[in-house]
Amino acid sequence: MTRLRILLARLRGAFRPNRLDDDLRAQIEAHIGEATDEYVRQGVPRAEARRRAMRDFGGIARVEEDYRDAQGGWLRDLTRDIRYGARTLLRTPAFTTVAIVSLAIGIGANTAIFSIFNSLLLRARPIADPERIVELYTGERGRSVEGTSYPSYIDFRDRSGIFTGLAAYGIRQYRLGDATDVEHVWGELVSADYFDVLGVPLARGRGFVAEENEVPGRNPVVVVSHGL
């Protein structure tokens, strides 16, 4: 309770600097007065006694600054800095507008980037048993990772004996529309067992069947997302 009262007293002093300064000056004057009286009792003239008391006390300005810091001066300094910054911004409305717009753009861009990062890497993917899903790549040792050819995928799928399922996919850009109105969209070219391997149920309709995976180009079947 004592500590709480001391803290509250310091906060009151931080928001009432005039009261704080008056109390501080009164304490300093009382201390110097007691020292002056002590010198007078020793036979020193009062003017000389006060001079000696001031000398013994030391720098008043330094004592005042240390006392203010101990009584919450940091909060008062922060309040003063905020007020100064607000006045500066109000005097330069053009600069303030540019600064606010720049901050808004920066915050918006960072929010968008984090949303993408969160959806791609942090948030759990909407697939069955995501901790059991891995991706395979082929490439020479010591060189950058590359994609895998379709014949290699067939070999892995039929001969590895390690995986419960293996699907292939490739990201492509497609043209959506007709001759008069075409929009470029991104999608994936996938093997027939793509949704079965991921364990993703379709909201409507069916997925791909094995026969549509045999001859390239024979079955141009598309699974369309709800967003598209």
Do 144 and 108 share a structural domain?
Answer: no
pLDDT in the model for residue 223: 92
In a domain, 218, yes or no: no
User: Which of 91, 113, 145 finishes a domain?
Assistant: 91
Q: What is the pLDDT of residues 139-185, one digit of tens each?
A: 776 666 667 888 888 888 888 888 888 998 888 888 888 878 888 88
More confident residue, 111 or 141: 111
Of the listed ranges 7-16, 53-62, 77-86, the least confidently predicted one is: 7-16
- C-alpha angle 113-194-117 in degrees, rounded to nearest 5: 10
In a domain, 227, yes or no: no
Longest alpha-carbon distance in the chain? 119
Do 6 and 87 share a structural domain?
Answer: yes
Question: CA nearest 27: which of 57, 51, 5, 50?
Answer: 57
- Domain span holding position 135: 131-213
In a domain, 78, yes or no: yes
Look at the chain and report how many structural domains it folds into: 3
d(CA 28, CA 31) in angstroms, rounded, equals: 5
In a domain, 221, yes or no: no
Taking the model in full, what pTM does it have?
0.43
Do 138 and 117 share a structural domain?
Answer: no
Q: How confident is the model at residue 213 (pLDDT cuts 50, 70, 90)?
A: confident
In a domain, 146, yes or no: yes
Do 203 and 153 share a structural domain?
Answer: yes
DSSP helix/strand/coil, 96: helix
